[in-house]
Structure 1
Amino acid sequence: MKILEQVIKFLINSPRFFSLVLISLKNRLILRLKLNHHYYNIKKMKLRLQLLLILLLPMGLFAQTNIKVLDADSQEPVSFVTVKVDTRKAVTANEQGELTVDLTEPSNLLFSHIAFVDQMVLIPASGEVTVYLERGENALTEVLVSSFESERPLLEQAAGIARVAEAELYRFNETSLVQAFNTKPGIRIEERAPASYRVSIRGSSLRAPFGVRNVKVYWNGMPFTAADGTTALNMLDLSNIQNTEIIKGPAGSIYGAGNGGVISFTSKESIDENKISAALSVGDFGLVRYRLGIDQKLENGGISVGYTSQKSDGYRDHTAMDREVVQVTGYYQPSKKQKLTTQILYSDLFYELPGALTADQLAENPQQARPGSAAMNASISQKSMFGTLSHDYRFNHNLDNKTSLYINTTDFENPFNTDYKKETQFSYGGRTSFTYDDIWANIPVRLIGGGEYQLSKTSALNFGNNGGQIDTIRFGDELLTTTSFLFQQLEAELTDNLLMTVGLSENFSSFDIARNIDAINGVPSNATRNFDLVVVPRVALSAKLNANSALHASISSGFSPPTIDEVRTNEGSINLDLEAEKGVNYELGYRSSFNKGKVNVDGSVFYFKLDETITTFVNEDGVVLFRNAGATNQKGVELMVDYALIRKQLGFVQEVKVTHSFTGHYFKFDEFMKGDDDYSGNDLTGVAPNTLVNQLDIKTKPGFYLNFTHQFVDDIPLNDANTVFQEAYHLMNSRVGWRGDVGNALDLEFYFGVQNLSNASYSLGNDLNPYGGRYFQPAAPRNFYGGIKVGLRY
């Protein structure tokens, strides 16, 4: 018996037998053995000990951890949270958000709920633990945006702001951002050929026959729009974008020039796990896209590397596209007060330009390219390197600063039907912003101030095009462009429900064109333009009606100087008389969330008065030229409503969500003379009066999902005279798939999609006011795609 007692004592005191049950039985069991060893025979004692060890052995291998799950904001219990414990099973919390798990060692558990953000939490092997979950961005009160350098809920922002979350990018084919952006009211991105983008925010594309103009673009807080006003948006792959915020209309008080608005892209901001990922998608017209990526945590930061390749033959003749993108990002946090981020983005892009068709050519064969495009090798080859360094520093609880620097090089080659261009650009710049929080006379205030500077140097050569090869040089220029501005902003919480914002910026810009080679005129020349100082104010109010609804109103001034490509055109002329556009925007909006975020409303009405409007015209050689054309009156209404028909954590169908967005843009030329023709009162060229988008999203507990999108686009006038229109069309897209995890380490997704489900005939981007009636750039008919994604955490 003494030997058995010693064995039991050893087992009980062993580290593997620390369970509360064993501890509570320890003294009682030993005492009973001592008192009764004279009364029980050895056989019965052995039998009892064997049974006891068999029953208690599993309890010695596992320890119990009691978990309580709470809403991080309200501190209320989150009912029926699903917790993935290991590769074999998942458990569900009760109605009070409580559950108990058995663990042999501290483990990472995945907490998921349809109304909250999935979260991986390290749980200890015993004791009491409280887990706080952040609500998913289902309600406007929970969507945080930092569009005006001030992170606040969207409900409190006094401006027309649209947000495109990462999940919305993946409702469609992942080859471009066009379809996701076009679901937002007031926003339209056109793709006249694969990777040839044109961005229109509230009708701002009138002066952008190609490329992205009159819109300021940022990437991770860095100016992505060059000093000359152009933006190589096609450098970016979807993998370089996680979230997007879009300011609609002028926001010059803090972002400088641009009447169209601001697009702010952000990629992944930190690394919270080690992961290897891969993705492959294929589709019609020779589409192949694949991506490889790795995220590695380090002691005080991490590094992320991604490579993406995308190729396609295109629907039309001469529309092949080939792009490779590499992004390397490093994060380092030397202390709690500061953070360093560095990024290198390299893009190698080639795409063919099929050109626009006449109405007869469109009817004959929509797949054909413009005659001569293939023979002249009309295409763009663009190699770009973009390097950045950002430093965030918090001086104290009142004051912090973010400073960002970038350097960019681009090699650009563009054989076209009428000429052959080669450009090499080197540019650099930076932005700094200070934020100071304080209380003045019992009023909480936030002061934001800083500045931005950009410089670009471009060597631009223009040749003749001889069968797709460089011919005799026509002219060669050295271009120097600078732009800079200072900005100040005051936010004052006048009451608990009233926020006032006053902003101001002072803007400077200039360009210098040194024509060193001029085969047309035979004499080198120099042209310089310094634009006058432009002061841009903004005043806005946001009034909360209750905890879930608010009104906002604002008056914003904006201006947009001509880009270097508008002043210096392809046929060799230099138009120094082109003036900057100037406008004032008046806006009133309403936002609200109902029924715990299941219903959301975001609407606004605006009036934008634009003077010195820059419009396009084409000479008899087909070269696009620019001029100021009086003024425009732009009245509009934009509305988005989304609601969850079903949201049940324990149901097979967890969520059914419906979203509607409406855009009413009633834009007119106020004063517009074109030679002897008076187009005053005509509809603004390139703008659809009415657009309606309907979306249906279904999620299921096993991981199956369905996304369906319907878009109606009204007739679009294609010339200033309003005699030619793109006919109204209905466009439908759908994607189905399954996404989930296998164990705690492997993420999987399979998907299949259809674009243009109804086989509509339409153009996703038309040429405006073209020479020879070449208006139409037909988009692809019904087409299919599919893919797989794999992520391995290690």
Structure 2
Amino acid sequence: MYRAILNSNRHSQGCHFERMPTAVGRSRNTSGATDECTRVNLLIAAVLLLLGEILRCFAPQNDRMWKGRFTPQLGLLIALCVLVGTALPASAQTGSPVDSTVVQLPEITVEASRATETEGSAPFTVSTVERTLNAQTLEAPVFLSDALQGIPGVWLNDRGHFAVGERLVVRGMGWRSPFGVRGIQVQLDGIPLTMPDGQAFLDIVDPLFVRNTEAVRGPSSLFWGNGSGGVLFLDTQPRAETPALTLRAGGGSHGLQQLAAEGVARTESGTWRVAVSDMRRDGFRDNSDGRFTRALLSTELDLASRTQLNVVGAFVDQDARNPGSLTAEEVDEDRTQANTAFDAFNAGKQSTQAHLGARVRHAFDTTTLDVTAFGGFRDLENPLPFSLIAFDRLYGGARTTLSGTAGATEWNVGADAMVQRDDRINQATDFAEREFLDELTLDQVETVRSTSAFGYVRIPLTERLRLTLGSRLDAVDFSLDDNFASDGVDDSGERTFAAVSPGAGVAYDTGPALIFANYNTAFETPTTTELVNRPGQPGGFNPELEPQRTRGFEVGTRGAWTAARLQFDVALYQLWVEDRLVAFEIPNSGGRAYFQNVGKNTHRGMELAVQWEAQPWLALQTSYTANRIVFDGTDALDGNRVPGVPDQRFTAQATAERGPVWMRLSWTAVDSYFANNANTARIDGYALTDLRIGLTDTKLGQTTVRPYVEVGNAFDVSYIGSVSINANDNFYEPAVGRTVRAGVTATL
């Protein structure tokens, strides 16, 4: 729910999704009403013209690329929206407020920025998806992307199976990852899923229980260090409206089965929660079946009047097959088939992961101390055509932040430390005979340690103008102990990377809108997987790989007008990426990806989100992303598009709650994009329609029963859901066609 609340002519200005608040108490406003309505109508007209221009630009015209899309008219319309927003006064400035009852809530802290900022004043783009109780109980997301549609600049797309995880791309960052997530900081209930080496896996995230998501859509190493080209902060904690007991059962196409339960106990001292789920699916492609068993626990306790303790834990056990990617000819022949080598080797993934963490916050008289400590493990067995990969991982760390004020200036300082230890082996295969051999090709222990310190200040220059400055120092140490003695070579070694990540921003609060600009940075070391995959070498670290570094600038505005029941978020940005890490494959390598630093990237784009409560029972939202992400500085690739990232994406969503009926209609359009650096393999664009319907108020005694049905890809569009970047000719991972899911949620 968008938490834009009138508060003495100020608004909480984060970009939220779901429902807007219904006004409490109405009074007829005569003084200044005409001027107010005129300005509101001008704003709505400008927004509608802007959307119309966007749709005109988005219309397919022989696969047009960026040139000609960002027209002068489009730029003028963006400026018009900003000017109208700046000129539009808060209700109290022009006369009596439209809403006679003013609801005051505390400023919402942005956890994705380490609680250094609030939504009403953050000088950077931040979006929040807060799922209502109806959305939580009447939707049955299989992938995290099902629950996080519509955030501009953020593309989370599933691969149609569970074995390698979803692709997460933020403004083009993270594009190169062949599995898991790279270059993006991901947190689950405050526990990092992104390891010290910069890689994250989302298997432990249960989309059924994600209630709130914050996305910082730009370089964020100032807050989180290595691998922070953007931030995704996922929150599963129960809310005040969360029922004491929730039971769910559902099923659907391709053998989908979902079972889940959540219990919440509330006492005078705090809240306790336990949740479990089991999901299974046969898959629509050969060799693509999978299973997840997950659990969550949390407690929030008030230890004293100024001290709060949060304990969180998560667990996942996974067994999934991997169908691999196909050639274009194989897709045309039979899009449900698996890659023949992946099928022959029964490729897949068996993994178990768990973590446990505690956070203590204590408020002193003038300062606040925030300390988090956590630890976990992840065991993996990953049979693939080129090798059977297995490792046992232990990881843990701590972070601390001290915040306070000095006069009108607010400050934060902190320090972080984290370690991961992977005991890794690789087992040989006979690719020609399609069998695993009883011999090792690698046996080594990889350890990554990161330490850092940061500082951040918020300086009010005037009552409405605020300057923020910050910097962070990181050191990331990779060490390797080679236990593979049979090759007679000791590849043990160590590599250390260091970086300083400064940032600065300025924000001007006009009342109904916040106008901001910032400069931020990010650095991204090679992951352990990228360092150990050496062409022609079985073990050790690649001595030639270096971190890639990103500088970014953005300007934007966001705000809300209660009178018009409208919110918006507009941002323009440019990123400069140096020493770019690029994946490549060697013929007959069985799909193994290797990496190298090659040249530079330039990422340039525009993002727009608009939300409007047309009626008390009807909410509409749209988002649009346009970007031009190209290679620079290399003769062979200069000017080519970075693969795996479409130039444009557009989403529209209507949510209606009429009586006991809840309905959501979603439409997503994705532009064409390339699958390789050479831009010789293009993925066609597509448009998808999804429909969800449920009943909210069916009573059986003390139990509320909520049946639901979902139709995904309602028009049965055939499209490529994801790609394997630079994978010789095996680029394509076909997506499922029309699917149907149905189930029931019971709450007490």
* TM-score bin (small chain): 0.7 to 0.9
Partner of 1:34: none
Q: How far apart are residue 171 of structure 1 and its match?
A: 7.5
Structure possessing the higher radius of gyration over alpha carbons = 1
Contact 1:171-1:707 within 8 A present in 2 as well: no
Task: Tell me the residue number matched to 1:694.
Answer: 652
Match of 1:339 among 287, 300, 308: 308
Say whether residues 1:354 and 2:310 are aligned partners: no
- The aligned residue for residue 746 of structure 2 is 790
SS at match of 2:489: coil
**Map 1:514-593 → 2, pairs under 5 A:** 514-517=481-484, 519=486, 521-531=487-497, 533-545=498-510, 547-569=511-533, 572-573=538-539, 574-593=541-560
**Aligned residue identity for 1:283:** G
Which residue number in structure 2 is paired with residue 63 of structure 1? none
SS at match of 2:329: helix
Aligned to 1:488: 455
The 8 Å contact of residues 238 and 264 in structure 2, kept in 1 or not, is answered as no
Secondary structure of the residue aligned to 2:742 is strand
Q: Choose which of 384, 388, 391 in structure 2 pairs with 1:416.
A: 384
Match of residue 15 from structure 1? none
8 Å Cα contact 1:193/1:354 also seen in 2: no
Q: What's the offset of the Cα at 1:297?
A: 2.0
1:243 maps to 212
What's the secondary structure of 1:572's corresponding residue? coil
Supply the distance in 2 between the matched residues of 1:246 and 1:510 (Cα, whole angstroms): 28
Match of 1:658 among 612, 620, 628: 620
1: CA distance, partners of 2:575 / 2:744: 45
Distance 1:208 1:525 in 2: 26
Shift of 1:179: 3.0
Tell me whether 1:425 sits opposite 2:389 in the alignment.
no
Number of positions where the alignment pairs a residue of Structure 1 with one of Structure 2: 646
1:459 to 395, 414, 423: 423
Q: Give the alignment of 1:143-292 within 5 angstroms.
A: 145-150=110-115, 153-167=118-132, 173-195=140-162, 196-268=165-237, 275-292=244-261
Distance 1:427 1:450 in 2: 20
Relative to structure 1, the CA distance from residue 452 to residue 468 in structure 2 (aligned partners, 3 Å threshold; closer, same or farther) is: farther
Seen in structure 2, the aligned counterparts of structure 1 residues 601 and 272 have a Cα distance that, compared at 3 Å, is closer
Q: 1:383 aligns with which of 341, 345, 352?
A: 352
Please report the TM-score for the alignment, with normalisation by the length of structure 2: 0.82
Q: Deviations over 1:501-555 (max 9, x none)?
A: 1111011101011121155x43232121011x3111100011012x211210001
Which of residues 726, 731, 747 is equivalent to 1:775? Answer: 731
Tell me which of 662, 667, 682 is aligned to 1:710: 667
- Shift in CA distance, 783/362, structure 1 to aligned 2, threshold 3 Å: same
2:611 maps to 1:672: no
| Residue aligning to 1:449 | 413
| Distance change (3 Å), C-alpha of 1:474 and 1:500 | same
Say if 1:581 and 1:612, in contact at 8 Å, map to a contact too.
yes
Q: Using the TM superposition, give the Cα deviation of residue 425 of structure 1 relative to its aligned residue in structure 2, in angstroms.
A: 0.7
Match of 1:642 among 608, 611, 622: 611
SS at 1:235 equivalent: coil
| Pair 778,383 (structure 1): closer, same or farther in 2 beyond 3 Å | same
For the residues of structure 2 that align with 1:180 and 1:632, how far apart are their CA atoms? 30
* CA positional deviation for 1:206: 2.9
Instruction: Give distance in 2, aligned partners of 1:219 and 1:597.
Output: 35
Measured against aligned partners, the alpha-carbon deviations of 1:315-356 in whole angstroms (never above 9, x if no partner) come to 111111101011122222121111112222111011110000
1:729 lines up with 2:693 in the alignment? no
Give the letter aligned to residue 618 of structure 1.
Answer: E
Separation in 2, partners of 1:777, 1:611: 29
1-structure distance, mates of 2:240, 2:139: 26
The answer to whether the 8 Å contact 1:169/1:238 transfers is no
The residue aligned with 2:370 is: 402
Using the size of structure 1 for normalisation, the TM-score is 0.78
Given that 2:325 and 2:339 are in contact with CA atoms closer than 8 Å, whether structure 1 keeps it comes out as yes
Shift of 1:377: 1.4
Q: For residue 134 of structure 1, report the CA deviation from its aligned partner.
A: 6.1
Q: Secondary structure at the match of 2:330?
A: helix
1:116 aligns to what? none
SS in 1 for 2:203: helix
Relative to structure 1, the CA distance from residue 179 to residue 240 in structure 2 (aligned partners, 3 Å threshold; closer, same or farther) is closer
Structure 2 CA distance for aligned equivalents of residues 74 and 470 of structure 1:
72
Distance (whole Å) between structure 1 residues aligned to residue 586 and residue 221 of structure 2: 33
Residue 111 of structure 1 aligns with which residue?
none
Q: After superposition, what is the alpha-carbon deviation per residue over 1:724-758, rounded to whole angstroms, capped at 9, x for unaligned? A: 10001111111011113749954332111111112
Equivalent-residue separation in structure 2 for 1:510 and 1:627 (angstroms): 19
SS in 1 for 2:196: coil
- Among residues 397, 402, 408, which one is paired with 1:434 in the alignment? 402
Deviation sequence 1:733-787 (CA, Å, 0-9, x none): 110111137499543321111111121111221111112x111100100110011
Alpha-carbon distance between aligned partners in 2 of 1:711 and 1:502, rounded to the nearest angstrom? 38
The 8 Å contact of residues 415 and 465 in structure 1, kept in 2 or not, is answered as no
Aligned to 2:678, the other structure's residue is in SS state: coil
- 1:749 aligned partner: 706
Extract unaligned runs of 5+ from structure 2.
10-23, 28-100
Shift in alpha-carbon separation, 1:133–1:379, aligned structure 2, 3 A? farther
SS at structure 2 position matched to 1:192: coil
SS in 2 for 1:285: helix
Q: Is the partner of 1:788 in helix, strand or coil? A: strand
* Change in 2 beyond 3 A, CA 1:261/1:340: same
Q: Is contact 1:451-1:486 (8 Å) kept?
A: yes
- Cα distance per residue 1:377-405 (max 9 Å; x no partner): 10001101101111111112x21111111
Partner Cα distance (2:262, 2:252) in 1: 22
C-alpha separation in 1, matches of 2:354 and 2:329: 42
Cα pair 2:197 2:525 within 8 Å, conserved:
no
**Aligned equivalents of 1:372 and 1:529: distance in 2?**
35
Deviates further, 618-627 or 327-336: 327-336
Question: What is the CA-CA distance between 1:142 and the residue it aligns to?
Answer: 7.9
Per-residue displacement from partner, 1:549-586 (whole Å, max 9, x unpaired)?
Answer: 12100011211111111101187253121111111101
Rounded to whole Å, the distance in 1 between the matches of 2:745 and 2:592 is: 45
* Structure 1 position 427, deviation (Å): 1.1
> Counterparts of 2:463 and 2:701 in 1: how far apart (Å)?
44
In structure 2, what is the Cα distance between the partners aligned to 1:597 and 1:527? Answer: 62
Q: Secondary structure at the match of 1:314?
A: coil
* SS of residue matched to 2:380: strand
Q: Give me the whole-angstrom Cα distance separating, in 2, the residues matched to 1:768 and 1:334.
A: 50
Return the offset for 1:432.
Answer: 0.9
Distance in 2 separating the partners of 1:254 and 1:143: 18
Q: CA deviation at 1:268?
A: 1.0
Q: Deviations over 1:654-694 (max 9, x none)?
A: x2122111101111111135xxxx11111111111111111
Task: Give the equivalent residue in structure 2 for 1:309.
Answer: 278
Structure having greater relative contact order (Cα 8 Å, sep ≥ 6): 2
CA distance in structure 2 between the aligned counterparts of 1:249 and 1:617, rounded to whole angstroms: 26
Change (3 A) 1:170 1:610: farther
